[in-house]
Amino acid sequence: MRKLWSEFNLPTKISVTWVSIILFLVITGSFLPLPNPTEYDPNASGVGLFSPGHILGTDINGYDLLSNVVNGARISILIALISVGVGGLIGSAIGIGSAYIRGKLDITVNLLFNILLSIPNLVLGLALVAILATSADPSTPIDPNRRVFIIIFSLTVVIIPILGRIARGATLSWVNREFIVAARSMGMKDRHIIFKHIVPNVLPAIYAVIFLAIGVVIVAEGALSLLGVGIIDGVSWGAMIGRVAGDFTYAPQSMYVPVVVLALTVIAFNQIGDHLRSQLDSREGKI
């Protein structure tokens, strides 16, 4: 562990520290002695930074910003982890499978990936959420939990082709290596070849992209909320940004706080992903 830490450069160390803090808040956020994020303080509406009782201030309605950012991390990070986890698993399975089997299946899969990738992430996510999260009766909005589920599903669909293409490309570069041909000529079964030879060699490439994908999803969740189709009434970074977007001129801190936290988190995940990728490149060079 200490050896791993010493291999990081300064930006990576800062990023790992920041991500650790955020993950700590995801787990412990609701136990910390903070004001209730969904209750407003009638005596402190739109107060600035370092106000008594509200370290990061409040928004125009008197909701405590620190408490909202800390508790919002839970939903935002959970959405990112689940959709990247599920999307990554499905995408990698499709990518590895189709690259291993080749033929018409592979051509079709590649075509589908390219079609999905040709649509900008946000547009694709927006379209899916807009279609799925519309209730038949406009006067009764759909259940918030269902809404979270739909957002996770939509972002998963966005992630599948991103990781699927990486997995497919990495598999293609390994599948014709001679040790795979040797394994086949020794009578190894296809599923053993995939799990013993291909997956371990393809995984590092996927790890590196997973961190980048987490950043993409956090941004997408925020952007969906800003556009009014994300989480509207719950507690998440996106919800905060969406709710206060109109109050920017009266209480700018209510916009700055969630945006800065979100941006730092995305940068930190990207930095870790970049670090993993550069490590991967130097190791692949040796092989």
Partner 1 sequence: MTNHAHLRKDSDVLLRVEDLVVEFKVPGNKVVNAVSSVSFDVKEGETLAVVGESGCGKTTLGKALLQIQKPKSGTVRFEGNELTSLSKSDLRSARTSIQMIFQDPISSLDPRMTVRQIVDEPLWIWSKGDENERVEKVKTLLNNVGLDPELVLDRMSYEFSGGQCQRISIARSLALEPKMLICDEPVSALDVSIQAQILNLLNDMKDRYGLTLIFISHDLSVVKAISTRIMVMYLGKVCEIGPTESVYSKPAHHYTAALISSVPIPDPTHRAQRTPIVGEPPSPVDPPSGCRFRTRCPAATELCATEEPMLRLAADGHYVACHHPRA
Residue 185 is encoded by which pair of tokens? 């000529």
Binding test (CB under 8 A) with partner 1, winner from 118, 139, 185, 282: 185
User: Which residue lies nearer to partner 1 by CB, 107 or 182?
Assistant: 182
Stretch binding partner 1 (CB under 8 A), from 2-10, 151-159, 171-179, 273-281: 171-179
Cα 206–208–214 angle (5° rounding)? 95
Closest CA to 157 of 216, 235, 234: 216
Stretch binding partner 1 (CB under 8 A), from 111-119, 160-168, 178-186, 237-245: 178-186
Count of residues in contact with partner 1, rule CB under 8 A: 18
Q: 208: Cβ–Cβ under 8 A, 6 or more apart, which residues?
A: 273, 274, 276, 277, 280
Is residue 191 a contact point for partner 1 (CB under 8 A)? no
Is residue 102 a contact point for partner 1 (CB under 8 A)? no
Binding test (CB under 8 A) with partner 1, winner from 108, 181, 228, 248: 181
User: Which residue lies nearer to partner 1 by CB, 146 or 192?
Assistant: 192
Burial status of residue 94 (CB atoms within 10 A of its CB: 0-12, 13-18, 19 or more) = buried
Is residue 103 a contact point for partner 1 (CB under 8 A)? no
User: Which residue lies nearer to partner 1 by CB, 23 or 182?
Assistant: 182
Minimal distance in Å, beta carbon 178 to partner 1? 4
Binding test (CB under 8 A) with partner 1, winner from 33, 178, 191, 249: 178
Is residue 184 a contact point for partner 1 (CB under 8 A)? yes
Minimal distance in Å, beta carbon 128 to partner 1? 37
Is residue 111 a contact point for partner 1 (CB under 8 A)? no
Residues in the chain: 287
Residue 247 is encoded by which pair of tokens? 């109050």
Q: 63: Cβ–Cβ under 8 A, 6 or more apart, which residues?
A: 37, 38, 39, 40, 41
Binding test (CB under 8 A) with partner 1, winner from 17, 114, 177, 228: 177
- Residue span 258-287 as binding mask against partner 1, x where in contact by CB under 8 A, dash where not: ----------------------------xx
Is residue 188 a contact point for partner 1 (CB under 8 A)? yes
Binding test (CB under 8 A) with partner 1, winner from 49, 182, 233, 281: 182
CA distance 136 to 256: 36
CA distance 218 to 262: 7
Q: 50: Cβ–Cβ under 8 A, 6 or more apart, which residues?
A: 57
Cα 118–124–127 angle (5° rounding)? 140
Closest CA to 95 of 160, 156, 50, 152: 160
Binding test (CB under 8 A) with partner 1, winner from 154, 201, 225, 253: 201
Q: Using CB under 8 A, list all residues that contact partner 1.
A: 177-179, 181-189, 192, 197, 200-201, 286-287
